């Protein structure tokens, strides 16, 4: 009796833990992009010049990034190839609360950045009142001095003119003072606070830092023995920013508060910036011996002149130095190189001396700190040489000071190279360089081989980033630093359908719970408690793992509910059977019921766990979420059905002393008789098997006929079109200049209008297109349409002003044929009155392909010096790049408009080689000098590409001119002179088809092998294994066939009445097929387990044993199938069109799966003839009784 209360307390404690983990649900339950919407980021991939198989490199890049970002498949993040050198990532949107907090944070940052800009008029006023230094900090002190000197020179000139003497000298002094003042003014106006610098400061750890004694390097304590704690890394960085920009102190505090509020609520990849940061690294780890100031002083450096390197860094930047033995490498984060406020101040005051004290050569360039490292083979360990080496793993560890660090392990060849490098350089600093940035530079105390450590003042986020990047492996090609396009997408099942789908799920669960209550009475209450606990555990564990619920994930929950109901039904039916004999009391019946149902429940769930394990290990990340959710659900089912409910019944029988357990079937015996028939199932084999074979063959034929057209756009290549509606006019009834909002789905919606184009093309009633074009456009009837950006309810319908249309390539399309122009033409024609049209611009040279007069090599950090114009714009990060100068722009255009046009053209397939270049637009001449909002008539487009740096000795001028200057002139000219009505047009490759096909074959084979072996061992006969596997193949084949047949009947009246549409195979249908496999397998195991039990010690199962087993489990089959079918039917009818392909396939599979367990699997176990007289037999008394 004492143990029962301990068990109940443990159950309650675990359930409460899950409840806490999932609360508040609006924050902890993360919905996937198909349910909530997502953020789309398009990245370019910089292919190696000698790349022969770009498709293979792009595939490898995507697979490595998937392992880096989503190794466990918990996050709903998809990656879709676009062409051969770019891909799209779509991640889910966070909750509404997190979105609002992020918006508030972004507004605070925007306000800070606006304030950070120094307006010239305000600056001059403050110089006149001598308040500039107090307002903007010491950085404007030279300008204040130059201003004062100019004022004094002008006063002296006025005095000279009044006296008539020394006028020439005074005028010369004024001229010199004006030049000095103009230079100082240009310098200050070029200064601004970088947004990324503020973000990095806010992300630093905010915990107080232990102060370290500078002599002993030990922690410092006060007189009471308490540790002396200094300001946090974040506080020090913010303090530094306030010192540099005192006028921004209040705005920095506001931005910090907004960030803290947002950061407290967000989890995982709620912010696209988290994903962008993780994407930036290529995962390339290198090791370089650092050049020592002592070696330089003694002349022991190898072919490196430090003074020359410093000069070249200051004048040409880090990428344009002349040494072949050394290079300047940037420090990843300065915070890693100091431990307290004193060291921080020393570093800022004199960085060169600070690093020299650590035996390192350092220099500052454009606000970033660099260290000088060897790059020659004798003092470096890099990739790309004759010897290949890799990393075997990366993990969390602690350094000697107890700080978080990263431990890494090299392979055998890497260990050999590391031993050779470190053995020859003991006592020298060795820099650990990841993706071209220095993370640490420890002094080598001894030779090291396979194992190493990256240590520093890393935050948990830093450690997580390093481990993910290193563990996933290196990319074969570098991804662009930032996305070349970013958009917000609506839910893929549609916002209108989302609410209906979720309501239908809840309704289905409630109906199942009410059915259990009505049929089993008190036992139904216990089953409902188990279902509730099941749900709490699933959501709680997923919340603990920071997992995302997608439509496939919810499919796993549907299957879990079905299996949880089945487990309880199995137990209750066993209890009812024992009570029906009248030979045992309730206490014994409960014990025997659990005892006899145990093996069946275990077998059914373990076989599903085998499928989960194989899927999780071999399938793509899109399916891993389903496998993990189902595995958690199976664990929860076993826990609630075999442990939780058992304790409740123990209290019911032992503590409360109840002697009866009424159920509907025992209250009304006619129900009991109806649910245990006496049918000769084996005798019906002659009907069942021909019917099944015919259905399987017909299904395979239908699938073969439909071919690729059976699959949704995400499984096929095609075109993606993004369109922006025009600004409303008074004729539209608009009161202000807002965009035209169009309904997403429903009558006269964007989706309906696009699909109607496809239907007309399929019927050959669409005019203006030839036969081939009509075939292409017929695919629009199955196009995927998503909202982009914000959406709102207009006249009771979800509407938006931007839409993404994805249409797949038609079946049999030749590889050299593109559908882009045809699709664009049709969509533009349909929506011509609703779209935002971009009119072409004119400028000097806009009609000429000759670029020479308009492009300039950027040779210094001042743009004006390179293009011969009086502009003070600083372009240090573009040295070696090109400046494209545009004059006489008509009509004048804003910088934002020009940037949008050029960015749009850069995404065009004709300019794949230009993707990922750094671009900035500098205004040269404003249409109205007093109001730049009226646009510019002259601008410079500055572009940099590290691989085409015109100042590098290894880059020929002809290559720079042809591949950078000429290409950028062509891109800019075409982008600005093209008339466009669509915002973005790109081609895309199949999202998951290639990898899913390969992994699906492996997963299916391994799953079937695992099931074969397990059932063979458990049941002692290969026939049982074969029966189960053939039933699975039967169910999946017919379910696919029923999806394929919808293309033939989808347009008929009876199909519309039954809510059947022309369904296609998408990831939801894949999830449904996986669910069918799990359900059918569980259904089959139940019957096979009863056959094994009834067979007893007989060598083979006789016809009587098989028939009796099917009849005995008929009640369980009817009840479980009935409740599950009822739940799915409710979801099919009420869930809306968004989830209907999933529920249709699942509904069909459940019916076929129930049929196959009785008509296919069980008869296949029989060996012999089934025409023997059918008679009732009495099962042998079980030993357990």
Please give the Cα distance from 230 to 339 (Å, whole number): 10
Please give the Cα distance from 889 to 867 (Å, whole number): 17
Which of 474 and 1135 is assigned the larger pLDDT? Answer: 1135
The DSSP letter of residue 730 is G
Provide the pLDDT confidence category of residue 706 given band limits of 50, 70 and 90. confident
Task: Provide the CB-side half-sphere exposure for 853 (13 A, CA).
Answer: 7
Provide the pLDDT confidence category of residue 46 given band limits of 50, 70 and 90. confident
Q: Report the pLDDT averaged over residues 586-601.
A: 88
Q: At what angle do helices 993-1019 and 54-69 cross, to 10 degrees?
A: 60
Long-range contacts of 651-659 (CB under 8 A, 24+ apart): 651/4, 651/8, 652/522, 653/586, 653/587, 653/590, 654/1, 654/4, 654/587, 655/1, 655/4, 658/586, 659/585, 659/586
What is the widest separation between alpha-carbon atoms in the chain?
139
Which of 1082 and 936 is assigned the larger pLDDT? Answer: 936
Cis peptide before 24 (omega within 30 of 0): yes
Q: 661 near 525, Cβ under 8 Å?
A: no
Report pLDDT for 232: 80
How crowded is residue 670: how many other Cβ atoms within 10 Å of its Cβ?
8
> What SS3 state is found at 1030?
helix
Please give the Cα distance from 247 to 118 (Å, whole number): 10
Burial category of 80 from C-beta neighbours within 10 Å (exposed 0-12, middle 13-18, buried 19 and up): buried
> Mean pLDDT score of the chain, rounded to an integer?
81
Helix spans in 707-778 (H): 750-762, 771-777
Provide the pLDDT confidence category of residue 397 given band limits of 50, 70 and 90. confident
Count helices and strands (H / E) in the chain: 44, 30
Provide the pLDDT confidence category of residue 1159 given band limits of 50, 70 and 90. confident
Q: 289 near 304, Cβ under 8 Å?
A: no
Phi/psi for 822 (5° steps) reads -65, -45
Report pLDDT for 1004: 72
pLDDT for 1178 beyond 70:
no
pLDDT for 1173 beyond 50:
no
Among the listed residues 556, 515, 564, 524, the one whose alpha carbon sits nearest the alpha carbon of residue 539: 556
Please give the Cα distance from 762 to 779 (Å, whole number): 8
pLDDT for 690 beyond 70:
yes
Q: Of all helices (H) and strands (E), which one includes residue 1182?
A: none
Question: 1015-1068: per-residue pLDDT in tens?
Answer: 888 887 888 888 888 998 899 899 999 999 988 887 788 888 888 888 888 777
Question: 769-822: per-residue pLDDT in tens?
Answer: 888 889 889 989 888 888 877 778 888 888 888 888 888 888 777 655 678 888
From residue 838, how far is each of 310, 711, 722, 829, 1033 by CA, in Å?
Answer: 48, 35, 14, 16, 54
The DSSP letter of residue 274 is H
Question: 425-435: per-residue pLDDT in tens?
Answer: 888 898 988 88
Among the listed residues 377, 392, 360, the one whose alpha carbon sits nearest the alpha carbon of residue 285: 392
pLDDT for 495 beyond 70:
no
Report pLDDT for 574: 85
Reported residue count of the chain is 1185
Q: Report the pLDDT averaged over residues 757-767.
A: 90
How crowded is residue 933: how many other Cβ atoms within 10 Å of its Cβ?
8
Q: Of all helices (H) and strands (E), which one includes residue 822?
A: helix 820-830
The DSSP annotation for 289-345 comes to: EBPPHHHHHHT-SSS--HHHHHHHHHHH-GGG---SSEEEEEBS-GGGG--SHHHHH
Report pLDDT for 756: 92
pLDDT for 736 beyond 90:
no
pLDDT for 1176 beyond 50:
no
pLDDT for 298 beyond 70:
no
Question: 454-463: per-residue pLDDT in tens?
Answer: 777 677 767 7
Cα distance between the two ends of the chain = 24
pLDDT for 569 beyond 80:
yes
The strand pairing partners of 530, in sequence order, are none
Tokens (6 digits) for 434: 């990841």
Point out the least confidently predicted range of 33-42, 484-493, 849-858, 974-983: 484-493
Q: All domains of the chain, ordered by start, with CATH?
A: 2-31+492-659 (1.20.1640.10), 99-265 (no CATH), 283-474 (3.30.1360.200), 682-709+992-1165 (1.20.1640.10), 718-830 (no CATH), 855-980 (no CATH)
Please give the Cα distance from 539 to 559 (Å, whole number): 15
pLDDT for 187 beyond 90:
no
Among the listed residues 395, 501, 382, 498, the one whose alpha carbon sits nearest the alpha carbon of residue 436: 382
Point out the least confidently predicted range of 266-280, 968-982, 1052-1066, 1134-1148: 266-280
Please give the Cα distance from 905 to 881 (Å, whole number): 19
Please give the Cα distance from 513 to 527 (Å, whole number): 8
Phi/psi for 1093 (5° steps) reads -65, -45
Report pLDDT for 329: 93
The 10 Å CB-count burial string (b at 16+, else e) for 544-580 is: eeebbbbbbbbbbbbbbbbbbbbbbbbbbbbbbbbbe
Give the CA dihedral 338, 343, 348, 350, nearest 10 degrees. Answer: -110
Provide the pLDDT confidence category of residue 500 given band limits of 50, 70 and 90. low
pLDDT for 699 beyond 80:
yes
Please give the Cα distance from 803 to 791 (Å, whole number): 10
Question: 707-731: per-residue pLDDT in tens?
Answer: 877 887 767 777 888 888 887 765 5
Question: 313-332: per-residue pLDDT in tens?
Answer: 888 888 878 788 899 999 98
Provide the pLDDT confidence category of residue 190 given band limits of 50, 70 and 90. low
Q: 248 near 116, Cβ under 8 Å?
A: yes
Please give the Cα distance from 616 to 1003 (Å, whole number): 9
Strongest mean pLDDT among 97-101, 193-197, 364-368, 1028-1032: 1028-1032
pLDDT for 1146 beyond 70:
yes
pLDDT for 1183 beyond 50:
no
Please give the Cα distance from 269 to 1148 (Å, whole number): 36
Please report where in the chains the tokens 């199976």 appear, as a residue: 634
Q: 750 near 744, Cβ under 8 Å?
A: yes
Question: 650-675: per-residue pLDDT in tens?
Answer: 888 888 888 888 888 778 878 777 77
Q: Of all helices (H) and strands (E), which one includes residue 229?
A: strand 229-230
Provide the pLDDT confidence category of residue 1175 given band limits of 50, 70 and 90. very low
Please give the Cα distance from 414 to 285 (Å, whole number): 11
Q: 1166 near 1106, Cβ under 8 Å?
A: yes
From residue 360, how far is each of 288, 374, 1064 by CA, in Å?
Answer: 12, 12, 62
Provide the pLDDT confidence category of residue 1182 given band limits of 50, 70 and 90. very low
From residue 795, how far is each of 489, 724, 727, 905 by CA, in Å?
Answer: 21, 20, 19, 36
Report pLDDT for 40: 78
pLDDT for 1185 beyond 70:
no
Among the listed residues 1048, 1072, 1061, 1062, the one whose alpha carbon sits nearest the alpha carbon of residue 1149: 1072
Among the listed residues 575, 596, 572, the one whose alpha carbon sits nearest the alpha carbon of residue 585: 575
Question: 129-162: per-residue pLDDT in tens?
Answer: 888 888 777 778 888 898 899 889 988 888 888 8
CA 228 to chain centre: 42
* Percent of the chain residues topping a pLDDT of 70: 87
Q: For residue 101, what are the contacts with CB-CB under 8 A and spacing of at least 6?
A: 258, 261, 262, 265, 266
From residue 13, how far is each of 16, 156, 545, 611, 796 by CA, in Å?
Answer: 5, 87, 19, 31, 45
Please give the Cα distance from 454 to 471 (Å, whole number): 14
pLDDT for 760 beyond 80:
yes
Provide the pLDDT confidence category of residue 371 given band limits of 50, 70 and 90. very high
Please give the Cα distance from 568 to 763 (Å, whole number): 53
pLDDT for 1172 beyond 60:
no
Phi/psi for 88 (5° steps) reads -110, 135
């Amino acid at each position: 009796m004492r143990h029962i209360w301990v068990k109940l307390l443990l159950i309650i404690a675990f359930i409460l833990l899950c409840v806490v983990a999932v609360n508040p649900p609006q924050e902890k339950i993360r919905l996937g992009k198909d349910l909530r919407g997502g953020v789309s980021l398009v990245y370019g991939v910089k292919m190696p010049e000698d790349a022969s198989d770009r498709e293979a490199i792009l595939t490898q890049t995507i697979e490595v990034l998937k392992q880096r970002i989503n190794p466990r498949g918990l996050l709903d993040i998809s990656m879709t190839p676009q062409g051969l050198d770019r891909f799209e990532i779509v991640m889910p949107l966070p909750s509404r609360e997190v979105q609002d907090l992020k918006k508030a944070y972004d507004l605070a940052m925007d306000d800070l950045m606006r304030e950070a800009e120094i307006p010239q008029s305000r600056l001059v006023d403050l110089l006149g009142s001598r308040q500039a230094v107090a307002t903007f900090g010491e950085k404007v002190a030279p300008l204040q001095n130059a201003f004062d000197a100019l004022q004094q020179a002008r006063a002296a000139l006025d005095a000279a003119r009044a006296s008539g003497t020394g006028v020439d000298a005074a005028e010369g002094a004024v001229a010199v003072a004006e030049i000095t003042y103009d230079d100082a003014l240009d310098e200050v106006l070029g200064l601004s606070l970088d947004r990324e610098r503020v973000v990095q400061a806010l992300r630093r750890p905010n915990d107080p830092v232990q102060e370290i004694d500078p002599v002993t390097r030990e922690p410092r304590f006060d007189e009471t023995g308490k540790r002396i704690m200094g300001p946090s890394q974040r506080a020090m960085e913010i303090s530094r920013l306030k010192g540099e920009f005192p006028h921004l102190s209040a705005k920095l505090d506001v931005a910090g508060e907004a960030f803290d509020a947002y950061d407290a609520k967000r989890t995982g990849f709620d912010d696209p910036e988290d994903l962008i940061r993780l994407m930036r690294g290529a995962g390339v780890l290198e090791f370089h011996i650092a050049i020592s100031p002592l070696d330089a002083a003694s002349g022991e450096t190898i072919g490196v002149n430090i003074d020359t390197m410093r000069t070249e860094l200051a004048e040409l930047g880090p990428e344009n130095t002349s040494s072949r033995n050394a290079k300047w490498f940037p420090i990843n984060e300065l915070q890693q190189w100091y431990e307290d406020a004193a060291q921080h101040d020393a570093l800022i005051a004199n960085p060169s001396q600070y690093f020299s004290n650590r035996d390192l050569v350092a220099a500052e360039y454009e606000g970033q700190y660099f260290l000088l490292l060897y790059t020659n083979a004798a003092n470096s360990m890099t990739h790309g040489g004759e010897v290949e080496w890799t990393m075997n793993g990366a993990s969390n560890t602690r350094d000697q000071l107890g700080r978080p660090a990263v431990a890494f392990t090299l392979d055998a060849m890497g260990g050999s190279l590391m031993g050779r490098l470190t053995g020859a350089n003991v006592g020298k600093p060795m820099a650990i360089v990841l993706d071209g940035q220095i993370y640490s530079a420890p002094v080598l105390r001894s030779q090291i081989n396979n194992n190493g450590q990256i240590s520093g003042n890393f935050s948990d986020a830093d450690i997580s980033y390093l481990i993910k990047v290193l563990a996933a492996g290196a990319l074969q090609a570098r991804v662009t630093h930032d996305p070349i396009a970013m958009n917000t997408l609506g839910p893929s099942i549609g916002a209108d359908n989302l609410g209906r789908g979720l309501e239908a799920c809840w309704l289905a669960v409630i109906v199942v719970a009410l059915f259990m209550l009505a049929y089993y009475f008190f036992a139904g209450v216990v089953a409902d408690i188990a279902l509730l606990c099941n749900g709490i555990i699933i959501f709680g564990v997923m919340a603990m793992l920071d997992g995302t619920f997608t439509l496939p994930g919810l499919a796993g929950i549907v299957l879990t509910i079905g299996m949880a109901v089945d487990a309880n039904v199995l137990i209750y039916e066993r209890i009812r059977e024992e009570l029906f004999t009248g030979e045992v009391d309730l206490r014994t019946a409960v014990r025997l019921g659990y005892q006899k149902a145990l093996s069946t429940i275990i077998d059914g769930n373990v076989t599903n766990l085998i499928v989960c394990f194989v899927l999780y290990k071999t399938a793509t990340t899109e399916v891993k979420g389903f496998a993990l959710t189902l595995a958690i659900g199976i664990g929860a089912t076993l826990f609630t059905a075999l442990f939780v409910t058992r304790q409740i019944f123990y209290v019911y029988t032992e503590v409360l002393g109840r002697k009866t357990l009424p159920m509907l079937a025992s209250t009304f015996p006619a129900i009991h008789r109806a649910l245990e028939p006496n049918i000769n199932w084996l005798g019906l084999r002659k009907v069942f098997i021909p019917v099944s074979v015919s259905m399987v063959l017909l299904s395979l034929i239908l699938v073969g006929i439909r071919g690729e057209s059976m699959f949704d756009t995400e499984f096929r290549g095609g075109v993606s079109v993004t369109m922006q509606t025009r600004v409303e006019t008074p004729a539209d009834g608009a009161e202000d200049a807002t965009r035209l909002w169009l309904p997403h789905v429903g009558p006269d919606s964007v989706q309906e209008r696009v699909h109607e184009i496809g239907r007309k093309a399929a019927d050959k009633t669409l005019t203006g297109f030839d036969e081939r074009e009509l075939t292409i456009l017929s695919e629009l009837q199955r196009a995927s349409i998503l909202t982009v950006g914000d959406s709102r309810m207009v006249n009771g319908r979800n509407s938006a002003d931007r839409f993404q249309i994805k249409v797949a390539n038609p079946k049999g399309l030749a590889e050299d044929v593109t559908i882009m122009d045809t699709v664009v033409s049709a969509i533009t024609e349909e929506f011509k009155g609703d779209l935002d049209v971009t009119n072409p611009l004119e400028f000097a040279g806009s009609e000429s392909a000759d670029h020479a007069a308009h492009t300039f090599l950027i040779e210094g950090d001042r743009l004006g010096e390179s293009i011969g114009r009086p502009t003070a714009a600083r372009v240090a990060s573009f040295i070696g790049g090109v400046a494209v100068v545009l004059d006489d722009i008509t009509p004048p255009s804003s910088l934002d408009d020009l940037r949008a046009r050029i960015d749009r053209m850069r995404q065009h397939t004709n300019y794949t080689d230009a993707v990922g270049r750094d671009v900035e637009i500098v205004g040269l001449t404003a249409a109205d000098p007093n109001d730049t909002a009226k646009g510019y008539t002259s601008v410079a487009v500055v572009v940099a590409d590290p691989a085409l740096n015109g100042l590098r000795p290894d880059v020929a001028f002809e290559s720079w001119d042809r591949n950078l200057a000429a290409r950028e002139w062509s891109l800019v000219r075409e982008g600005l002179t093209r008339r466009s009505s669509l915002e973005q047009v790109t081609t895309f490759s199949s999202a998951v088809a290639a990898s899913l096909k390969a992994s699906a074959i492996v997963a299916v084979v391994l799953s079937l092998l695992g099931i074969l072996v397990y059932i063979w061992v458990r049941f002692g006969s290969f026939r049982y294994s074969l029966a189960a596997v053939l039933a699975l193949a039967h169910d999946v084949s017919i379910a696919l066939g029923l999806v394929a047949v919808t293309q033939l009947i989808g347009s008929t009246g009876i199909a519309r009445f039954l809510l059947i549409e022309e369904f296609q195979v998408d990831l939801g249908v894949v999830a449904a097929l996986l669910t069918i496999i799990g359900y059918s397998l569980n259904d089959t195991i139940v019957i096979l387990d009863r056959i094994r039990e009834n067979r007893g010690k007989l060598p083979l199962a006789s016809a009587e044993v098989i028939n009796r087993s099917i009849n005995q489990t008929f009640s369980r089959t009817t009840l479980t199938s009935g409740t599950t079918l009822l739940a799915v039917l409710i979801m099919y009818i009420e869930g809306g069109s968004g989830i209907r392909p999933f529920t249709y396939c699942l509904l069909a599979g459940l019916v076929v799966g129930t049929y196959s367990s009785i008509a296919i699997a069980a008869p296949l176990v029989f060996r012999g003839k089934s025409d023997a007289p059918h008679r009732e037999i009495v099962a042998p008394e079980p030993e357990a009784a």
